[in-house]
Amino acid sequence: MNTHHALALPAAKHPALVEARLKRAQSVQLRIADQITKFAGSMPFVYVHVAVFAVWMLVLEDSPWPTLTLAVSLEAIFLSTFVMIGQNRQASFQQAKADHDFVEQELELKTNTDLTREIHTMLVGMNDKRGRPVEQGPEHRGKTT
């Protein structure tokens, strides 16, 4: 049984994230950085490094492995840069989503406020036709006239 499908996350459908991904896909540099970050955060990356370092240490160079030390240090510098690029990307996605959600919530609040006013106006009109005064707020609730 393949459990990979059970662990797969659904594709992001949030409009702000879709737009941010489309913009990001237009940049060759960002696509390359995304692919490197994706590979560097995977188990195949670990397996490749174990194999390469084992061959390097056992076959290619004698202890104390000065060239290997230099290569690993340079790789660490570049990988940390790619991790920061990935974190910036994630922060950008989160900000785009938060901005979109804020605008949507403000619009929803305005719509609900407008609807509440319209309902109140309609109730006032209906009660005027029936000859009843409309309560002005919660302090009038429970009082009978």
Domain residues of the chain, as ranges?
14-102
pLDDT-based confidence at 7, cuts 50/70/90?
A: low
- Among 89, 102, 96, residue whose Cα is nearest residue 15: 96
What's the chain's length in residues? 145
Amino acid at 46: V
Mean pLDDT within 62-76: 89
Query: 141 pLDDT exceeds 70?
Result: no
| CB neighbourhood size of 134 (10 A) | 13
Query: 13 pLDDT exceeds 70?
Result: yes
pLDDT digits (tens, 9 = 90+) for 109-137: 999 999 999 999 999 888 888 877 656 55
Share of the chain above pLDDT 90, in %: 32
pLDDT-based confidence at 12, cuts 50/70/90?
A: low
Q: Do 61 and 68 meet the contact criterion of CB atoms below 8 Å apart?
A: yes
pLDDT for the residue 62: 84
- Return the residue matching tokens 């305005």: 110
pTM here is 0.56
- Return the residue matching tokens 């059970």: 6
